[in-house]
């Protein structure tokens, strides 16, 4: 709900189709997501006419059943935003989760890997300490604020949350706005627009920390390329 006094999100007028993919009863400590459940969610989103699918989850590479569902989503022109992972303080954190990495490699025209920027007291110019970095996923990686994101907990209380699971919906919202404003754009063109208009952070150009950089939705809505008149 947009009321200009609390939370209204990025694409606050978007129609949401929300599907639970966790295994019932598994979330007492850490939720389990089986590929079969995720695949059913992807197919439900396709049937609902989704333009973008947000996957704030990660882990091992998707199985053949889920890959087939993601192929159906790609065939339907849907963009999938997948969290990079929250192992930034571990050796494996130099690359995105295998779930995100393999999905992006299989569907490079339809997948963005979402990393997080922001740490307490450092602003949004630094990679979040918990965020998996671009690593070998440079070509598909984009960052957005995922640290201290204000949203609601399970009891409806406004809470500050951190994780690449919260950076991914920011990018999903950006995709929704672009797709609404420019319905003629293909998924690949939307990805290229967000990648080329991102704020360049870290080393000049694409790099193994920030990938393409930090989402800049304002710049994405400004004229791009060469303008010609008949």
Scored b (16 or more CB within 10 A) or e, 41-56 reads: bbeebbeeebbbbbbb
* Residue 119 backbone phi and psi in degrees, to 5: -140, 155
- Whole-angstrom distance between the N-terminal and C-terminal Cα of the chain? 44
Classify burial at 10, counting beta carbons within 10 Å of its beta carbon; exposed 0-12, middle 13-18, buried 19 or more: middle
- For the record, the structure tokens of 35 come out as 């590929």
- Is the distance from CB of 114 to CB of 146 less than 8 angstroms? yes
Q: How far apart are CA 12 and CA 1, in angstroms?
A: 7
**Vertex 69, ends 64 and 74: CA angle to 5°?**
120
- For the record, the structure tokens of 130 come out as 């918990």
- Is the distance from CB of 7 to CB of 157 less than 8 angstroms? no
Classify burial at 148, counting beta carbons within 10 Å of its beta carbon; exposed 0-12, middle 13-18, buried 19 or more: middle
Q: Which residues of the chain have pLDDT under 50?
A: none
pLDDT digits (tens, 9 = 90+) for 87-105: 999 999 999 999 999 999 9
**Vertex 117, ends 114 and 145: CA angle to 5°?**
75
The pLDDT assigned to 41 comes to 96
The pLDDT assigned to 25 comes to 80
The secondary structure element, H or E, covering residue 33 is none
- What is the number of other CB atoms lying within 10 angstroms of the CB of residue 144? 30
pLDDT digits (tens, 9 = 90+) for 119-150: 987 789 999 999 999 999 999 999 999 999 88
């Amino acid at each position: 709900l947009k009321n200009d006094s609390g939370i209204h999100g990025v694409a606050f007028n978007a129609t949401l189709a929300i599907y639970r993919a966790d295994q019932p009863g598994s979330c007492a400590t850490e939720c389990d997501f089986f590929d079969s459940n995720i695949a059913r969610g992807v197919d439900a989103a396709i049937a609902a006419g989704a333009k973008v699918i947000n996957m704030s989850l990660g882990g091992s590479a998707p199985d053949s059943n889920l890959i087939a569902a993601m192929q159906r989503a790609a065939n339907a022109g849907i963009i999938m935003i997948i969290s990079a992972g929250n192992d930034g303080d571990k050796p494996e954190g130099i690359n995105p989760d295998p779930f995100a990495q393999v999905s992006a490699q299989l569907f490079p025209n339809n997948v963005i890997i979402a990393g997080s920027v922001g740490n307490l007291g450092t602003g949004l110019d630094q990679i979040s300490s918990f965020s998996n970095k671009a690593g070998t996923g440079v070509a598909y990686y984009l960052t957005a604020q995922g640290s201290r994101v204000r949203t609601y907990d399970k009891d409806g209380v406004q809470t500050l949350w951190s994780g690449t699971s919260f950076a991914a919906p920011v990018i999903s919202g950006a995709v929704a706005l672009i797709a609404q404003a420019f319905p003629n754009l293909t998924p690949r063109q939307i990805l290229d627009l967000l990648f080329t208009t991102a704020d360049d952070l870290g080393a000049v150009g694409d790099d193994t920390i920030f990938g393409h950089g930090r989402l800049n939705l304002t710049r994405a809505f400004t004229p791009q390329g060469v303008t010609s008149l008949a």
